[in-house]
Amino acid sequence: MNQMLQDQDVQASQVQTPQAENAPDTPANPPTPEHPHFAKPQRVAFVQSSWHREVVEECRISFLKEIEARHITNVDVFEVPGSFEIPLHAQLLAKTRRYTAIVAAGLVVDGGIYRHEFVADTVIKALMDVQLRTEVPVFSAVLTPQQFHETEVHYEFFRKHFVIKGIEVAEACANTLLSLERLRGQVAAGIPG
């Protein structure tokens, strides 16, 4: 009887193994999603602070890759000294009417002289004001970690985090521009919302 159980176990495992081998292969790279196209060309300004450039630039790199996948290839990059300088640049860029969106990226850390929460709060509020005054959407990847120490561990953690933020801000930018394009088209056509 024990032999029968063992034989059945072996047969069952042999039956499962070929099924697993014949299962569809998982692709090494998942298929690239199809993103909708825009009716009109889009132009985006990317304003990056140079404070902790080696960390913040990861956001720009991943943003540019993701935004191109979403059919936006006209991106102008601007660099400012720190995050505090981003809102004025964003406002001037919005007023040119050359850009359909503006993206801001920076890292605000506690420098010991001032409260970094104050700077971050001021920057975010100012970016919102620019957006509402000009009707040009402004997206923020200005991050304010509670703790940032100039150690390799923290640098590496935030470099990886900014890669993710770059992808997320590209997605938000493209989706918002698509939504606004659709909405403005409906308004121009007199279609009620």
Q: Is 69 exposed, middle or buried (0-12, 13-18, 19+ CB in 10 A)?
A: middle
Catalytic residue, chosen from 115, 133, 182, 184, is 115
Question: Using one digit for the tens of pLDDT, what is the confidence trace for 160-174?
Answer: 888 999 999 999 999
How high is the pLDDT of residue 7? Answer: 44
How high is the pLDDT of residue 176? Answer: 95
Q: What is the pLDDT along the chain (193 residues), one digit of tens a residue?
A: 334 434 444 444 444 444 444 445 555 766 667 887 877 889 999 999 998 888 899 999 999 999 999 999 999 999 999 988 999 999 999 999 999 999 999 988 766 555 666 777 888 999 999 999 999 999 999 877 656 656 676 678 778 888 999 999 999 999 999 999 888 877 777 777 5
Report the 3 state secondary structure along 129-160: HHHHHHCCCEEEEEECCCCCCCCHHHHHHHHH
How high is the pLDDT of residue 43? Answer: 96
Alpha carbons 184 and 136: distance in angstroms, whole number: 13
How high is the pLDDT of residue 49? Answer: 93
159 is catalytic: no
How high is the pLDDT of residue 60? Answer: 96
Please, are residues 80 and 89 in contact by the beta-carbon 8 Å criterion? yes
How high is the pLDDT of residue 10? Answer: 42
Instruction: Look at residues 137, 181, 141 and name the one whose alpha carbon lies nearest to residue 161.
Output: 141
Question: Using one digit for the tens of pLDDT, what is the confidence trace for 143-163?
Answer: 776 566 566 766 787 788 889
- Number of alpha carbons in the 13 Å side-chain half-sphere of residue 135: 4
pTM greater than 0.75: yes
How high is the pLDDT of residue 1? Answer: 38
